[in-house]
Structure 1
């Protein structure tokens, strides 16, 4: 396993917390830190922690539309590419092999770089006598959270993976075998519980620190891990704690959740902030959802009038036009659901479009948000997700009785007049919750994980209708996990010791 490009001892620092900055990740500073001479002040501790976040902002992770989005959203029953595209095709169409999905290796390496950075921060800050208690606690809390988030994705995507939680020599890291997934998740539960019990993270941040995880972000991540473990009681407890005691609340209007001018609104528990015009800190993920003018509108003769209408509003269809809802998502989304126009855009400024787009992730303002230079925050966790997780946990524990209130709280803003659930069996409510998560959280990074967790990925994909691909004909049981990239197997043959089949993809 090749980690950190052979610099596991050097913590790569990409940004600095500068007084007066709009965001704690606004400025970029590159360099390699020697732990023996660094970590000598609070400022250096904060600088080191800031460096961990930049892994999330790289193109292989959240920086563009081909990062982790490929593996959490494509290959499910919500989104697909509008045309054949080589980089996404193996995941989208379930033609995966060990060697044909290079962007997975980039994600694998970025996640392990993030883990290595976090381990370095935790080890060196814990051992430094020169850092104040308050900064030490928060720095360790952030590093624990980010490391847990990294392993959360590794374990969900690949299952058993190499696990280490301390600084180790590069030769040792490069020869680690795979740790059982349940053991990894148990370790994550311990780390996230430590954040709470030792009060390592605050409940809220000031304006300059938005984008750092709070204790509530740690709790929602912990609840998600409990759901993977089918530990309904503990998942229920964490979700209740968030709903009853956090400052977060459901917004009255679903569309306001995705307002690019208010990305850290009351419903958002954690989002990753990006900064326009800051090298390495802008993102082009939005471009994957924005239409491109060459595709639109449906009537080619209207292309000029549409372009003029957009220009009058300082807007453009200047994206890649690749990530669009699949046909069955469009056809089955209830027409009276107020969330539908935010998830399915088939008409704009009076022009019928060729494709339908996921409107809540589009931004046509090319002045303030130009192509390849978007400063929008990328949503990770929000409160509506917690309500639906709580409904699921409560239903599994005790049946529908107390679970209705949580799913109905989410549905209340989705229908006018209200359409609350009642009178369902446990199995019927289970199915209703699964469908509600599909409509409420579409495109937000949860759907494929949910389908795997519920054990229904294969049947769901087989029954979905796609425009461009036919994954239902290709998907096999082993596709619920990804293969470890072939290049990693060459570098570290120990990755095959516990599973010579490489999750079923090998010979």
Structure 2
């Protein structure tokens, strides 16, 4: 592909220039810089990389509950809206068309913007003689990781998608057709393996660099891509490496993983850091999980006493209270599972609530985490997920024998006394792993992807019980993929060349 010949590139100028102790995410757009005069120092390379992260923080991506969370958390058997809410209805209720879901187009555009930013960084940093080798390697490593993470979501949600990994003229990018999804994933495998082979990312970070991906984040993403490819051998290899060689470990308590005061704990492999009181950086995803007082408690007469009880703790029910567990999730979650209280909040301070909430993503501290200004990290990958991926791969390769130890390591903190699995055949353990992932990773953005790659999304949705919507009556086989947004097709008709049906939505 051709290298971009345009004269200007949007570069983020970070507040690091003024206050080196601040987080690398505390930045804002200052202007348009000519790339021929930029990339002249290590500091400028770091600033350019920091700019890539801006895309992740946008509301249409990870900034709020209407971004990528809509497509990974809703439309499965975990979460739904507690009331009719038009913005997410097409995904929740499987009434998707090519033209009725602006959220999908916003996510599509943000991911491709991030990919374009990453390509620009890689090209210009590689070609600059003024950047030190250490900064050059890490800058390229971060850009490759973030580009791969973008294509991971694109390929999972849309299947065949336009793919490019170099800077190209805007007109060329805007006319690309779709690459087969297996080719896209093979390219991601190549790139993510390069991160380890060329030693592009470190083992860990400290201080203001927390939130950048490590080599272990890259290996986790690689293992997930291998899962989609059903490459069980390489999935096992990557997961074993993470478990045996990384600095990460399982925490003794499930609830400790979600401590907002310790978001980069030992179990967390990668989380996206958000900063309170930084314009354009603080996230409001938490508001989607936080109850609102006008909905609670169940007995209206308790509203005043609950409000007083909350105020005594410097707390408020001041969110949207939209994202709640579906009815069958609540009914089926084992009562004796120690993870249940962190996934099903039905009472608070002795008051029965109207709805049940996903406890682990609530935060009622309105002093330190006010509505619309949450300085919290959004969890992406953690080690328990890796253990369960390893159990799945080992079971598919060799049956239950060596797979038990990995699923049981996760279950050990979920039951008292312990309830390890044993005596199953391969099919039985396969089902047990699928169920275990539901309880362990609820709301963390894996479930819908899991159901699609297992080939059981349709039957699962049809058999689930929902409070507000009836997706089981609407879901069709083509709903395992999203339609390419109609606006994008108008701009680039080549998107339909390989598939005029647009993933089945044009039929």
User: 1:500 Cα deviation (Å)?
Assistant: 0.4
Matched ranges for 1:470-481 at <5 A: 470-481=470-481
**Cα offsets for 1:476-499 (capped at 9, x unmatched):** 000000000000000000000000
4+ residue runs over 4 A deviation:
none
- Paired residue secondary structure (1:347): strand
Match of 1:423 in 2: 423
Are residues 9 and 29 of structure 1, via their aligned partners in 2, closer, same or farther at CA, if it must alter by over 3 Å?
Answer: closer
Name 2:280's counterpart in structure 1: 280
- 1:260 is paired with a residue whose SS is coil
Q: Could you tell me whether the CA contact under 8 Å between 2:196 and 2:215 is conserved in 1?
A: yes
In structure 1, the residue corresponding to 2:444 is in which secondary structure? coil
Does residue 498 of structure 2 align to residue 498 of structure 1?
Answer: yes
In structure 1, stretches of 5+ residues that fail to align are 1-6
Give a deviation string over 1:359-415, Cα, whole Å, max 9, x none. 000000000000000000000000000000000000000000000000000000000
CA contact (8 A) 2:105 2:485 kept: yes
**What is residue 9 of structure 2 aligned with on the other side?**
10
* Structure 1 residue 132, shift from structure 2 partner: 0.2
Contact 1:16–1:47 under 8 Å retained in 2: no
Equivalent residues of 2:339, 2:439 under 8 A apart: yes
Counterpart residue number, 2:197:
197
- What does residue 327 of structure 1 align with? 327
Report how far residue 37 of structure 1 moved. Answer: 1.1
Aligned counterpart, 1:398: 398
> Using the alignment, how far apart are the partners of 1:253 and 1:132 within structure 2?
42
Q: Check conservation: 1:76, 1:460, Cα contact below 8 A.
A: yes
| TM-score, normalised with respect to structure 1 | 0.98
Matched, 1:346 2:355: no
DSSP-derived class of the 1:438 partner: helix
What is aligned with 1:463?
Answer: 463
Aligned counterparts, 1:14-29, within 5 A: 15-18=14-17, 19-29=19-29
Partner Cα distance (1:171, 1:351) in 2: 59
Task: Indicate conservation of the 8 Å contact 1:400/1:425, yes or no.
Answer: yes
Secondary structure, aligned partner of 2:222: helix
Check if 1:126 corresponds to 2:163. no
Q: Which residue of 1 aligns with 2:176?
A: 176
Contact 1:8 1:170 in 2 (8 A): no
- TM-score of the two chains, using structure 2 as the length reference: 0.98
Quote the residue 1:242 is aligned against.
242
The C-alpha deviation readout for 1:225-275, integer Å capped at 9, x for no partner, is 000000000000000000000000000000000000000000000000000
**Cα root mean square deviation, aligned:** 1.0
* Post-superposition offset of 1:9: 5.3
Q: Do the aligned residues in 2 keep the contact of 1:11 with 1:120 (CA within 8 Å)? A: no
* Distance in structure 2 (CA, Å) of the matches to 1:118 and 1:347: 45
Secondary structure in 2 aligned to 1:177? Answer: coil
- Work out the CA distance in 2 between the residues paired with 1:17 and 1:91: 40
- In the other structure, the counterpart of 1:221 is 221
Q: Deviations over 1:272-298 (max 9, x none)?
A: 000000000000000000001110000
Q: Which runs of 5+ in 2 are unaligned?
A: 1-5
Equivalent position of 2:141 in the other structure: 141
